[in-house]
Amino acid sequence: MASTYIAPKEGASDGWQKVDAALDRLHQQALSETIADRFYTAVLNELRGLQLPRAAIWKVVEGRLRLVRRVESPGNSAAGVQGEVAQEQAAAADAIDAKQPRVARPAADSAVTETAKPASCAAAPWFIANRPAGALVVWLEPDSPPAAVAGQLRLLSAIAELMASFQAQSEWHEAQTQLQVQARLAPLLVSLHSSLKLAEIAQRIASDGRAAVGCDRIAVAIRRGRGYRTLAVSGADHLHRHSQTIRQLDALCTAVAVNGDPLWWEASSSATDDETLPPQVQHRLAEHLDVSPAVALAVIPLRSIKTSESSAAEANSSDSTTDAEPLIATLVFECYSRTFDEASQAVIAGMLPHCAGALTHGLLVQRIPGQWLWLRIARQSAWHTAAFRWAAALVVLALAIAALFLLKADVQVRATGEIQSEARREIFAPWDGVATEVHVDHGQRVKAGDLLLTIHSAELEQQLQEAQGEADTARKQLAAVQSQRLQAGPGDVQSRNREATLTAEEQQLQAQLTSLADKLKMLARRREELTVRSPINGEVVTWNARERLVGRPLRRGDQLLTVADPAGPWKVELRIPSRSAGRVLASAGSNSGGQAVTWTLTSQPGNAQQGVVRSIAQRIELDEAGRSHLRLTVEPLAKTPAELGNITPGSLVSAKVACGRSTLAEAWFHDLIDTIRLWLTL
Q: In Å, how far are 1, 111, 413, 414, 555 from 654, measured between CA atoms?
A: 106, 94, 11, 8, 35
Residue 510 is predicted with a pLDDT of 82
Q: Which of 156, 134, 152 is nearest to 36 (CA)?
A: 134
Average pLDDT over every residue of 157-177: 88
Q: Within a 13 Å sphere around the CA of 114, how many CA atoms are in the beta-carbon half?
A: 0
Has residue 141 been placed in a domain? Answer: yes
2 has pLDDT over 60: no
Q: Judge whether residue 375 has pLDDT over 50.
A: yes
- Would you state the pLDDT for residue 322? 43
- Domain-embedded: residue 186: no
Average pLDDT over residues 77-90: 83
One-letter-per-residue 3-state SS of 273-339 = HCCCCCHHHHHHHHHHHHHCCCCEEEEEEEECCCCHHHHHHHHHCCCCCCCCCCEEEEEEEEECCCC
Q: What pLDDT band is residue 187 in, cutting at 50, 70 and 90?
A: confident
Which pLDDT value is given to residue 585?
Answer: 84
Neighbouring-strand partners of residue 613: 634
Please compute the mean of the pLDDT values over residues 388-399 and round it to a whole number. Answer: 85
Mean pLDDT, residues 234-258: 90
1 in any annotated domain: no
Query: What's the whole-model pTM score?
Result: 0.47
* One domain for residues 231 and 343: yes
CB of 583 closer than 8 Å to CB of 659: yes
- Please tell me the predicted confidence (pLDDT) of residue 495: 67
pLDDT tens digit string along 421-470? 877 778 888 888 888 888 888 878 888 888 888 888 878 778 888 888 88
Task: Of 659, 657, 608, give the one whose Cα is nearest residue 634.
Answer: 657
Last residue of a domain, one of 560, 577, 592: 560
pLDDT tens-digit series, residues 300-357? 999 998 765 555 445 454 444 445 688 999 999 999 999 998 888 989 999 999 999 9
- Same domain for 551 and 465? yes
Residue at a domain's end among 149, 176, 203: 176
- Shared domain check, 663 and 608: yes
Q: Find how far residue 105's CA is from the centre of its chain.
A: 63
Q: Burial, 530: exposed, middle or buried (Cβ in 10 Å; 0-12, 13-18, 19+)?
A: buried
Q: Is 384 domain-assigned?
A: no
Beta strands, E only, 592-627 = 596-601, 609-616, 621-622
Q: Please check whether residues 53 and 156 belong to one and the same domain.
A: yes
pLDDT of residue 231: 93
213 and 357 inside one domain: yes
Look up the domain containing 265 and give its range: 193-307+326-367
How much of the chain exceeds pLDDT 70, in percent? 87
Same domain, 81 and 119: yes
Specify whether 475 is located in the same domain as 547.
yes
Using DSSP, state whether 164 is helix, strand or coil.
helix
User: Would the pLDDT of 93 be above 50?
Assistant: yes
* Residue 163: inside a domain: yes
Residue 418 in domain: no
Q: Report the pLDDT value the prediction gives residue 374, as an integer from 0 to 100.
A: 67
Whether residue 619 sits in one domain with residue 650: yes
H-assigned helices in 488-574 = 493-529, 545-549
- Position 10 confidence tier, pLDDT thresholds 50, 70, 90: very low
At residue 258, φ and ψ (nearest 5 deg) are -60, -45
Position 116 pLDDT exceeds 60: no
Chain CA centroid to CA 322, Å: 22
Same domain, 633 and 489: no
Mean pLDDT of 625-647: 81
Looking at residue 299, what is its pLDDT? Answer: 95
Domain endpoint, select from 143, 176, 209: 176
Q: Any idea which of 74-83, 230-239, 245-254, 509-518 has the lowest mean pLDDT?
A: 74-83
Mean pLDDT of 32-40: 84
Q: Taking each helix axis from N to C terminus, what angle separates 36-49 and 146-192, rounded to the nearest 10 degrees?
A: 170
Query: How many structural domains does the chain have?
Result: 4
- Do 546 and 576 fall within a single domain? no
Residue 14 confidence (pLDDT): 65
Tens digits of residue pLDDT in 207-232: 999 988 989 999 999 999 889 999 99
In whole numbers, what is the pLDDT of the chain averaged over residues? 82
Mean pLDDT of 117-132: 85
